[in-house]
Amino acid sequence: MEKKKRYYPLPIRVTVWVLTVLLLCGGVALTALGGVGVALGEKATAQARIVKPYLDSYASKAAESYAREGAVEKLPAPYSYVITNERGEVLAATYDGGAYLASSSDTHHRKHDADVTVTVYCPPADTLTGNSPMEQAVRLVTVAVSGCRGYLIGGLLGLCLSVAGLVFLCCAVGRRRDGGVALCWVDRIPFDVFTLLWAVLCGLCGGLLRLPFGGALRVVLLLAAMLCLAVLLTSWLFSVAVRAKSGTLWRNTLIGGLWRALQRASAAAGRHLPVVWQVVGVLLAVSAAELLALLAFDLLTRRLLVLWLAEKVLLLPLLLWAALGLTRLHGGLRRMADGDITHQVSTRHLTGGLKAAAEDINRLGDGLQEAVEQQIKSERMKTELITNVSHDIKTPLTSIINYVDLMEKENPEDPTLQEYLAVLSRQSARLKKLVDDLLEASKASTGNLSVDCAPCRLNVLLEQVVGEYSERAQAADVTLCPAYPNETVTALADGRHLWRVLDNLLCNVCKYAQPHTRAYLDLTAEGNTAHIVLRNVSREALHISADELMERFVRGDDSRHTEGSGLGLAISRSLMELQGGGLNLTVDGDLFKVELTLPLAE
Amino acid sequence: MAHILICDDERDIVSALRIYLEAEGHTTCVAYTGRQALDVLAREKVQLVLLDVMMPEMDGIAALAALRQQYNLPVILLTAKGEDTDKVLGLNVGADDYVTKPFNPVELLARVRSQLRRYLSLGAEPVPQEDCWQVGGLLLDDRQKRVTVDGEPVNLTPTEYEILKLCMNNPNKVLSPREIYRQVWQEDPIGAEGLVAVHIRHLREKIEINPADPRYIQMVWGRGYVLRSGEDV
């Protein structure tokens, strides 16, 4: 892989390309020559086979002319002939009876006279030095046959070398020094257009061979055409390689572009056009295409037109009916997706697959509805269970609290007893708080609380809250630093619930903040949201993450000896969510930061 | 002192309550179901009822509805159900006060005292004179600069007194801290509205039995404060 990506400078690549093209042309020519030689077999036979067609044509021409005019027009240079009648008498001859390469006879039948037979002879190959096509062909065959193996091997070797060069060039082409892929202007032409252009150019090269030039010029033409073809084919191959490397081979095609544009257009139409109009549009397009095709191939007869129209007229209502059914199904699905799961799709006028689909959608809706009802029921049962259990716990708890209180009033002399009573009193108070919090957490998390959101002036609310807490904060040796903006921030909130949240948070501040520090309470409005941020420094190191702090029954202190249930933050978050806001907790070292968000009132 | 009916299906709670109330000098009678409570009421002359809600045979709400058809005496509902809807239901059916279990005995006794005072001694008090304002058991006499809660005098600072007077002049009206500051301090509050909240808190601690669940001066979060008077106190 590493080798493939190496960069080769332009001169090296051009040199290799030139060599490859030359090797390719030479290899093709030599291989063709060698192949012809091998195919023709032994030398003398091959020469004779090449000469034969020429001799045949001369013999028949000569026989005909003799029969018609009683004489033979002059044969070109190396040929000689003998004319005999049917009895074998020689009528005329230029043949001297020497050695010959090949001969051909033709007999012409005459109606009123004896038949004549003309035999044309070609002299041996080594005497053929002229420039006639026959002599050139014989010389070429002589060359081909005499060295055929060598040519074939050389040609194949050249081809192999050129293939190696091509592989190398395909790897090296388009590679930039930094390993990226460089596309030149040729590679930016859409691939199908490019291929077509190159095919036309190749065709032009082939056309060169049709020019009426003979002799040496023809050989030059042949070579030129071959070179041009080789250059075109190799450059096409390189462009393919570059495109493949940059991944634009299929992407950058005219057809692909058109296809994608069509897809985009149809997708857009699918989203914005009603199904009925889509169907009508497609039908119209198909009909127009059919009509055009029929007209183009001249197939449109009157009878066919009538049939065609009848088909369309039958098809249109059928398609419209299906499209309307689909629209209805889609409408039903959309209403269910929007939350109206009690919606039922009407199955009237629907048959077959559409009806089955409608029924399935209705069943889906029923299933969903049932699941939601189950869920609601189970949530309600859970809340009810917690509520009832809480009430049942409260009754014995009342007795415990009261009798502990009564025992304390008895003023026991024994200090140990007093100490025990203090423990009972403290723990029963804690149990009371725990039960209350549990009840509230259950209600808040299941949304089983009435929420009455109204415009609420947060500046005023925070002033009230700070006023409530100023003395408790002083007692805990924490300075409350509220900061409000000058303009009033009015949010949509339920004041009682928001108070519960802030009560909880400030209670935490008084309990857990490091004495001798400040707690900041900032109010800001951003966009559509009001932010209340409370920051304080924790007394104990907070070893747990903000997420864990939010979980129920978890508190920041490792030892669980302080009062509180650990439900406060969970309740607060639930209450904020019930009001359409949020609660975010951040722990940064000892800095404890709570951010409340609420939607602003209009 | 008064004769009090304690009605709860939990006998331990009933005896604890008896001990508390008798220590205060009241006499008590007991019932363990709503029906028994109605029987006792028919038999004895009772001045106050402590009524549980969840009881067998006849629950507290039904018993309350039944006794309200005949009696005018104060009823304090005593229940484990602490939700707002339960409280509203209880008060609407005719309870005079609502205490949730587990309760603080001191608070309960204070509420009993308050109800008895209103029923026995203040109930028939004539409409107060000029420069006097009354809201429930709360009485402000501006000539003597004196405030009493259920007959008991309360010591207020001049600022607290002014705030209370303003609230009693505007019962059931929500007063914003800014408004209160302007009226009481007679100047524009420039970032000093926070002071109002502190004074209100002190005031509440002095005039309310349970400052966390105020009867008179209530918070309207995000708007201000309101002094509730009339039926819903």
Which CATH number characterizes residue A580's domain?
A: 3.30.565.10
The nearest CA of chain B is from the CA of A274 a distance in Å of 50
User: Are B3-122 and B132-227 in the same CATH fold?
Assistant: no
Partner-chain contact B197 A461, CB within 8 Å: no
B196 chain-A contacts, CB cut-off 8 A: 463, 467
Partner-chain contact B221 A464, CB within 8 Å: yes
Question: Taking CA atoms, what residue in A is nearest to B81?
Answer: A391
Provide the CB-side half-sphere exposure for A577 (13 A, CA).
Answer: 14
pLDDT in tens, B150-178: 778 889 899 999 999 898 888 888 988 88
Query: Does B132-227 carry CATH code 3.40.1710.10?
Result: no
**pLDDT for res B30:** 93
Question: Taking CA atoms, what residue in B is nearest to A398?
Answer: B102
Partner-chain contact B198 A471, CB within 8 Å: yes
Asked if B181 and B196 count as a contact pair (C-beta separation under 8 A), the reply is yes
pLDDT band at A2 (very low <50, low <70, confident <90, very high): very low
Q: How distant, in Å, are the alpha carbons of A249, A565, A582 from that of A576? A: 56, 19, 5
A470 chain-B contacts, CB cut-off 8 A: 194, 197-198
Inside any domain, residue A193 = no
What average pLDDT does chain B have? 86
Nearest residue to B167 via CA among B124, B222, B219, B209:
B219
Q: What mean pLDDT comes out for the span B22-46? A: 91
Q: At what angle do helices A10-40 and A43-69 cross, to 10 degrees?
A: 70
Residue type, B152: E
Same domain (yes/no): A331, A457 = no
Residue burial B206-217, b: 16+ Cβ < 10 Å; e: rest: ebbbeeeebbbb
Q: Write out the DSSP string of A158-176.
A: HHHHHHHHHHHHHHHTTB-
Question: Taking CA atoms, what residue in A is nearest to B52?
Answer: A395
Inside any domain, residue A185 = no
Interface test with A, best of B87, B221, B223 (most A CBs within 10 A): B221
Query: End of a domain among A320, A337, A354?
Result: A337
In the predicted structure, residue A124 carries a pLDDT above the cut 80: no
Inside any domain, residue A378 = no
Interface test with B, best of A384, A391, A402, A428 (most B CBs within 10 A): A402
Tokens of A17: 């390309």
Alpha-carbon gap, residue A221 to A267, rounded angstroms: 54
Partner-chain contact A495 B222, CB within 8 Å: yes
Long-range contacts of A565-569, Cβ-Cβ distance < 8 Å, separation of 24 or more: A565/A433, A565/A434, A565/A437, A565/A438, A567/A437, A567/A438, A567/A440, A567/A441, A568/A437, A568/A504, A568/A505, A568/A507, A568/A508, A569/A504, A569/A508
Q: What mean pLDDT comes out for the span A439-448? A: 80
Nearest residue to B96 via CA among B126, B70, B118, B124:
B118
Question: Taking CA atoms, what residue in A is nearest to B202?
Answer: A468
Query: End of a domain among A307, A337, A367?
Result: A337
pLDDT in tens, B105-127: 889 999 998 888 878 776 545 55
| Bigger pLDDT: A122 vs A216 | A122
Superfamily of domain covering B3-122: Response regulator (3.40.50.2300)
**pLDDT for res A561:** 46
pLDDT in tens, A211-245: 777 667 777 888 888 888 888 888 888 888 888 88
pLDDT exceeding 70 applies to what percent of chain B? Answer: 95
Question: Could you give the number of structural domains in chain A?
Answer: 2
B177 chain-A contacts, CB cut-off 8 A: 460, 463-464
| Bigger pLDDT: A100 vs B196 | B196
Partner-chain residue, chosen from A394, A436, A458, that has the shortest CB–CB distance to B222: A458
**pLDDT for res A172:** 83
Alpha-carbon gap, residue A239 to A153, rounded angstroms: 31
Q: What mean pLDDT comes out for the span A114-142? A: 77
Asked if A275 and A214 count as a contact pair (C-beta separation under 8 A), the reply is no
Q: What 3-state DSSP class applies to B128? A: coil
Q: Could you tell me if A401 lies within 8 Å of chain B, comparing CB atoms?
A: yes
Inside any domain, residue A316 = yes
**pLDDT for res B230:** 59
Whether a cis peptide bond, with omega within 30° of 0, leads into A124 is no
**pLDDT for res A555:** 52
Q: Could you tell me if A405 lies within 8 Å of chain B, comparing CB atoms?
A: yes
Tokens of A439: 């009840």
Question: Taking CA atoms, what residue in A is nearest to B105?
Answer: A402
The residue written with tokens 């149809």 in the block is A266
Q: Is B192 exposed, middle or buried (0-12, 13-18, 19+ CB in 10 A)?
A: middle
A428 chain-B contacts, CB cut-off 8 A: 102
A397 chain-B contacts, CB cut-off 8 A: 101-102
Question: Taking CA atoms, what residue in B is nearest to A472?
Answer: B198
Listed in sequence order, the residues at least 6 apart from A133 whose beta carbon sits closer than 8 Å to its beta carbon are none
Partner-chain residue, chosen from B103, B197, B221, that has the shortest CB–CB distance to A466: B197
**pLDDT for res B128:** 56
Nearest 5°: phi and psi at B232?
Answer: -85, 10
Alpha-carbon gap, residue A394 to B79, rounded angstroms: 9
Q: Could you tell me if A460 lies within 8 Å of chain B, comparing CB atoms?
A: yes
Beta carbons within 10 angstroms of residue B221's beta carbon: 22
The nearest CA of chain A is from the CA of B227 a distance in Å of 16
Partner-chain contact A398 B101, CB within 8 Å: yes
Alpha-carbon gap, residue A131 to A122, rounded angstroms: 15
Partner-chain residue, chosen from A460, A465, A471, that has the shortest CB–CB distance to B223: A460
Partner-chain contact B224 A403, CB within 8 Å: no
In the predicted structure, residue B94 carries a pLDDT above the cut 60: yes
A394 chain-B contacts, CB cut-off 8 A: 80, 101-102
Listed in sequence order, the residues at least 6 apart from B53 whose beta carbon sits closer than 8 Å to its beta carbon are B59, B60, B61, B77, B78, B79, B80, B81, B86, B90
B12 chain-A contacts, CB cut-off 8 A: 399, 403
Listed in sequence order, the residues at least 6 apart from B189 whose beta carbon sits closer than 8 Å to its beta carbon are B177, B178, B181, B182, B195, B196
pLDDT exceeding 90 applies to what percent of chain B? Answer: 24
In the predicted structure, residue A4 carries a pLDDT above the cut 60: no
- Domain borders along chain B are 3-122, 132-227
Nearest residue to B60 via CA among B84, B42, B80:
B80
Asked if B161 and B133 count as a contact pair (C-beta separation under 8 A), the reply is no
In the predicted structure, residue B231 carries a pLDDT above the cut 50: no
CA of residue A399 relative to chain centroid, distance: 72
Asked if A6 and A165 count as a contact pair (C-beta separation under 8 A), the reply is no
Pairing of strands B138-141, A116-122: unpaired
Inside any domain, residue A365 = no
Q: What mean pLDDT comes out for the span A475-501? A: 89
Helices (H) and strands (E) in chain B, counts: 8, 11
B87 chain-A contacts, CB cut-off 8 A: none
In the predicted structure, residue A580 carries a pLDDT above the cut 80: yes
pLDDT in tens, A268-311: 877 777 788 888 888 889 989 988 888 888 877 888 888 888 98
What average pLDDT does chain A have? 83
Query: End of a domain among A309, A337, A365?
Result: A337
Alpha-carbon gap, residue B83 to A385, rounded angstroms: 15
A436 chain-B contacts, CB cut-off 8 A: 82
- The parent domain of residue A539 ranges over 452-599
**pLDDT for res B20:** 92
Nearest 5°: phi and psi at A496?
Answer: -65, -45
In the predicted structure, residue A468 carries a pLDDT above the cut 70: yes
Nearest-5° Cα angle at A408, A404 to A414 = 120
Partner-chain contact B54 A391, CB within 8 Å: yes
